[in-house]
Amino acid sequence: MKTLKYLLLSAFFVTFSAFAQETEKETEKPQGHTNNNKFKQLYDEFSTPNVYRAASGAPGHEYYQQQADYKMDIVLDDVNSKLFGEETITYTNNSPDVLKYLWVQLDQNVRAKDSKSPLINGGGFNKMGQTSSFVNSHLADGFEGGFNIEFVKDVNGKPLPHMINRTMMRVELPKPMASGDKFSFSIKWNYQINDYIKHGGRSGYENFPEEDNKLYVIAQFYPRMAVYSDIEGWQNSQFWGRDEFALPFGDFDVNITTPVDHVLDGTGVLTNRKEVFTKDMMKRYEKAKKSFDEPVVIVSQKEAEKAEKSKATKTKTWKLSAKNVRDFGFASSRKFIYDMMAVKVGGKDIMAVSLYPKEGNPLWEAWSTKAVASTLKSYSRMTFDYPYHKAISVHARQQGMEYPMICWNYGRPEKDGTYSDRVKYGMISVIIHEVGHNFFPMIVNSDERQWTWMDEGLNTFVQYVAEQDFGEWYPKALSAKDKKYPSRRGPAAKIVRYMGGDQDYIAPIMTKGLNTYQFGNNAYGKPATALNILRETVMGRELFDYSFREYAQRWMFKHPTPEDFFRTMEDASAFDLDWYWRGWFYTTDYTDIGIKEVVSYKVGETSQALKEETAKRYNMEVKDLPSLIVMEENTDNSDSKSLLESSKSLKEYVMDNFTPEQRKALKRPKYFYNVTFNKPGGLVMPLIVKYTYDDGTSKTETYPAQIWRLNDKEAKKAIASEKKIVSIQVDPDLETADVDTTNNTWPKVETTSEFDKMKNKKK
Ligand SMILES: [Zn+2]
């Protein structure tokens, strides 16, 4: 007997158990005792929902968060590059717990003489290192930063016992705070501001030695309350310099005294604008509030250049007041050019603002403020209406760092004012990114110290959407060769190199930022791509966008955790995504799906002889056997009739069960294929397949990821087609981040993938 493979035509016939068992045997069973099923629900990994955090991913009915309000007087000593401050913190205990002590963060201590931060970095000597870093590490005595705490007192002036553990300070309360209590205390401090170009850091100053001027971008500059929450109790993860911050919300009243010739802006409403602005600045400011298309210059380059030439000895005080912010930052210099324009968001006028020295031009006057305005529009559409009254972009060399309403951004032209595409796009992208951080984590206030991806990943995802908007709204900003904005992160294909790379240097996204190998790809690129694929390929824009907005709105001005995000995305979309979170966020698996084999079949009437033989073999009645049989047939079927015409039993069945109208509508397949897809990669992903026919047409079919649920290695599809299939391609539009596309086509196209090239190189 010819080798026959029995297959079921379940579309036509009732399942036939004896044959079904034969095909089932081919399914591999998972090995071992651990349930490693990729579709296993995330109960072990997720914390159990409770009164603080609901199973839906929304804040629970007893959700609480602490509040920290600040009143501060700050003096910037430009001559000695020192910052002096006295602050009064009013802390409100909204938790149900009794607190015996408070923890305050002293992030400047990362640059203190006795800081342990440099000691955690291994790696030995760099073969090729920066001269400055060699000098700083091995020749110089090192920069002496860190807070000098002059006092910690209660409102009656009584000193409070306190203890400093590196970047954290524990303040003992005179009596324990009960739930609902408020406690006010004051701290007086000062520190030496760092030259961040020389000594690193997310804030500090840049020195312009040829004119002896400094440009200050000041943040993490005051002792800040740590977060106390239902998740962590007191946040106790120290600041090592890389992982960012966890901060409670509060109201700020801050007075900052600077030299009178400085221009300053920062978090909050400037409440004494008339005192610190000149008459000309006020007039221009009024004009800017009505300018929605072009920025209005408040301080011109000419005026800034004039200010650079002398140094005022008098001072002035800028008064800023901010409600419901998690932090405070400001920038100050006599070098600043200052421009603004208005942007409408949700019926409200918001000011888009830029501060930059002449060294940023002509790039900054052209695009900074427009990038700010455009970002506010895109992000508001994707999340919620921007709730603050302004957003500022400050030019600071080599910086990309965010604070409420204000951020520092790189992107500096050459001395002659020319710049490459790389510098231009880099500057626009970093502005979109840092302004975007107003939404994540400044408003959707996740714990950056623990979960870098919750702000960087979500933000980089929306950044991609906003960059594409920007390219559409400001085509003049694009270079001639670019039809759309050339985003660096977001599209699936851009993460392939990372995900297909050396597994020894890849950590799951759910790893604390400090402990990851490739920080940018791990915390920014991969989660952003995961969300982009989820939006474009798995859920579709409508469901994704609704759920993403729901998450942002549920958690705006609150503290979400990863589970709150994962749960909300499922809750609002009716999409069980546990498999997706598991694969993309909890493992380092990559996508590799291919075509293993394509076999064509002939379907025909079962012969009497075969029926008899089969009946004997399975001890059955001949009349109970199916009338159709599928035979392996690699020959061309093009001359055969459609099955509906050639099969007696099929014809009879159709005549008995369908009306003439319905019969006309029936398909008449002539070609039958068994396509075996294989999955060398660990990730389960939807199987996107493009079938191309001999008449040149094609059809793309997306099989949901669940196609892999019973067999993680292989999936077979029976294809009954009216037209002959000439080629099959998996993931034709590169949507799934497939690391090896050489196995994606049938017939096989001989190429060497990037993945193979990397592998060969390693060998
Ligand atoms: Zn960021």
Task: Give the DSSP per-residue string, 466-528.
Answer: HHHHHHHH-GGGS-TT-SS---SSSSGGGGHHHHTS-GGG---TTS-GGG-SSHIIIIIIHHH
User: 717 alpha carbon to ligand 1 midpoint, in Å?
Assistant: 43
Centroid of ligand 1 to alpha carbon of 200 (angstroms): 17
> Which is more confident, 611 or 687?
687
Torsion of CA 426, 467, 348, 560, to 10 degrees: -90
For residue 622, the model assigns a pLDDT of 83
The alpha carbon of 463 and the centre of ligand 1 are apart by a number of angstroms equal to 10
Q: How far is the CA of 434 from the centre of ligand 1 (A)?
A: 6
Per the CB < 8 A criterion, the answer to whether 297 and 284 are in contact is yes
Mean pLDDT across 449-473: 96
Residue 558: what pLDDT?
Answer: 98
Kindly give the distance from the C-alpha atom of residue 283 to the centroid of ligand 1, in angstroms, as a whole number: 35
> What is the predicted pLDDT for the residue at 421?
97
Residue type, 555: W
Q: Is-contact 699 685, C-beta < 8 A?
A: no
Ligand 1 centroid to residue 323 C-alpha, Å: 23
Distance (angstroms) between ligand 1 centre and the Cα of 459 equals 7
Hey, which bits of 82-196 come out as E strands? 82-92, 99-105, 148-154, 162-165, 168-177, 182-192
Cα three-residue angle 760-762-763, rounded to 5 degrees: 65
Count CB neighbours of 707 within 10 A: 18
For 480-496, what is the mean pLDDT?
94
Among 242, 250, 225, 277, smallest CA distance to 103 is for 225
- Among 219-223, 732-736, 759-763, the least confident range: 759-763
CA of 186 to the centre of ligand 1 (A): 32
Span 295-300, average pLDDT: 98
In terms of Cβ atoms closer than 10 Å to its own Cβ (0-12, 13-18, 19+), residue 750 is exposed
pLDDT 10s digits, 335-352: 999 999 999 999 999 999
Give the Å distance between the CA of 511 and the centre of ligand 1. 17
Instruction: Output 607 or 52, whichever has higher pLDDT.
Output: 52
The band of 579, judged by pLDDT with boundaries at 50, 70 and 90, is very high
User: Taking the alpha carbons of 343, 348, 349, 350 in that order, is the dihedral positive or negative?
Assistant: negative
pLDDT at 102 over 60: yes
pLDDT (0 to 100) of residue 139? 67
Is the pLDDT confidence value at 603 over 50?
A: yes
Average pLDDT over residues 669-687: 94
- In this structure, the chain runs to a length of 763
723: left (phi over 0), alpha (psi -120 to 50) or beta: beta
Confidence at residue 32, expressed as pLDDT on a 0 to 100 scale: 56
Residue for token digits 């004896």?
Answer: 18
The confidence score (pLDDT) of residue 143 equals 74
The rounded Å distance from CA 133 to ligand 1 centre is 24
Confidence (pLDDT) at 24: 44
- Reported as a pLDDT band with limits 50, 70 and 90, residue 114 is confident
15 CA distance to ligand 1 centroid (A)? 55
Q: Render pLDDT for 192-207 as a digit per residue (tens, 0 to 9).
A: 999 999 888 889 999 9
- In sequence order, what are the beta bridge partners of 581? none
Neighbouring residues of the ion ligand 1, judged by CB less than 5 Å: 456
Residue 424's closest CA among 485, 335, 353? 485
Paired tokens of 74: 């700050």
Residue where the block lists tokens 């999936």: 715
Q: How confident is the model at residue 636 (pLDDT cuts 50, 70, 90)?
A: low
Q: What is the pLDDT of residue 609?
A: 81
pLDDT beyond 60 at 281:
yes
Choice among 113-122, 175-184, 607-616 with the minimum mean pLDDT: 113-122
With 60 as the cut, is the pLDDT of residue 703 above it? yes
CA of 548 to the centre of ligand 1 (A): 19
Residues 507-524: tens digit of each pLDDT: 999 988 777 788 889 999
**Average confidence (pLDDT) over 369-377:** 98
Q: What integer pLDDT is reported at residue 299 of this predicted model?
A: 98
Query: In whole angstroms, what is the distance from residue 747 CA to residue 290 CA?
Result: 62
pLDDT of residue 614: 82
Question: How close is the Cα of 527 to the center of ligand 1, in Å?
Answer: 13
Predicted local confidence at residue 753, as pLDDT: 61
Q: What is the mean pLDDT of residues 241-263?
A: 94
User: How far is the C-alpha of 404 from the C-alpha of 392, rounded, in Å?
Assistant: 9
Could you tell me the distance, in angstroms and rounded to a whole number, from the CA of residue 442 to the centre of ligand 1? 11
Cα 658 to ligand 1 centre (Å): 62
> Which pLDDT band, with edges at 50, 70 and 90, does 121 fall under?
low
Q: What is the mean pLDDT of the chain?
A: 90
Instruction: Name beta bridge partners: 228.
Output: 234
CA of 456 to the centre of ligand 1 (A): 5
pLDDT band of 142, cuts 50, 70, 90: confident
Residue 644 has pLDDT above 90, yes or no: no
Q: What is the Cα 641 distance to its own chain's centre?
A: 54
Ligand 1 centroid – CA 437 distance (Å): 6
> Which residue in this structure is represented by tokens 């955790």?
561
What was the pLDDT predicted at 133?
A: 64
244: pLDDT strictly greater than 80: yes
Residues pairing with 605 in the sheet = 628
Q: State the distance from the centre of ligand 1 to the C-alpha of 440, rounded, in angstroms.
A: 9
pLDDT of residue 737: 97
Q: What is the pLDDT of residue 668?
A: 84
C-alpha to C-alpha distance for 312 and 332, rounded to whole angstroms: 14
Q: Which helix (H) or strand (E) holds 570?
A: helix 562-571
Query: In the prediction, which pLDDT does 606 show?
Result: 73
The pLDDT of residue 595 is: 97
Q: Given pLDDT bands bounded at 50, 70 and 90, which one contains residue 134?
A: low
Asked if pLDDT for residue 46 goes beyond 60, the answer is yes
CA of 146 to the centre of ligand 1 (A): 24
Helix axis angle, 421-436 relative to 363-382, nearest 10°?
A: 40
Q: For position 18, what pLDDT does the model report? A: 36
Binned at pLDDT 50, 70 and 90, residue 758 comes out as: low
